[in-house]
Structure 1
Amino acid sequence: MGVKRIKPNIRSDRLDESRAFYRDVVGLAEQGGLDWVLFFGTDRREVQLSVMRLDVRAGVHPDVSIEVDDVDVVFRRAVDAGAEIVYPLTDEEWGLRRFFVRDPNGAVINVTQHQ
């Protein structure tokens, strides 16, 4: 099981202002998104930042997303460790298999795998 990337998720209800800031001030390229989430990054897939309203499916804001190559293995490890599963293992309509887990510091981690 390998980690492919780690991406911070900034919560915001000011998507237009965030778009201008991360694109025009910081210099990141806007890389699409949905009506509730924007992605910014570079030509390197590993360099990405998300700005989002409250996650529309989970109803919880994930502080960080970690993309792995086998989300089922990580889910089993989290359950076996007694970690709090905040959002169950789910196949999302936008092509991700994911779950949310709370880390020992209280941060919500979105563990994902592209399908």
Structure 2
Amino acid sequence: MAVRRIKPNILAGDLAVSRRFYTDLIGLDDLGGMDWIRFLGGGSREVQLSVMALDVHAGVHADVSIEVDDVDEVHARCVAAGAEIVYPLTDEPWGLRRFFVRDPDGTVVNVTRHGE
């Protein structure tokens, strides 16, 4: 199992204001998204920040996203270890498979695999 990328997810009180801050002041490019999430970054998808309103499907904010090549394997290890699954393993309509797990300090991690 390999990790493909890790990106922080910032919870925005006002998505438009946060987007402008990160694009106009910090200099990130707006790479697109949906009405509840914007992907901001540089020249590659490995350099990316997500700014979002509350996750519309999970109803929980994930603090960080970790993309792996085998999300089912990671999910099975988390379940076997008794980790708290906050959002079940799900195939999302926008083309990724993911679940949320809470780490020992309470951080919610979105473990994901993009479809190809």
Which TM bucket (shorter chain)?
over 0.9
Q: Distance in 2 between matches of 1:19 and 1:82?
A: 37
Aligned match of 1:76: 76
Please list every run of at least 4 consecutive aligned residues from structure 1 whose deviation after the TM superposition is greater than 6 angstroms: none
Query: Percentage identity across aligned positions?
Result: 69
Aligned match of 1:112: 112
Q: Distance in 2 between matches of 1:24 and 1:69?
A: 34
- Could you tell me the TM-score, scaled by structure 1's length? 0.98
Structure 2 letter corresponding to 1:40: L
State the Cα distance separating 1:93 from its structure 2 match: 0.0
Q: Distance in 1 between matches of 2:34 and 2:77?
A: 30
RMSD: 0.6
Unaligned runs of 5+ residues in structure 2 are none
Matches within 5 A, 1:9-88: 9-88=9-88
Aligned residues: 115
State the Cα distance separating 1:20 from its structure 2 match: 1.1
2:103 equivalent to 1:103: yes
State the Cα distance separating 1:81 from its structure 2 match: 0.8
Unaligned runs of 5+ residues in structure 1 are none
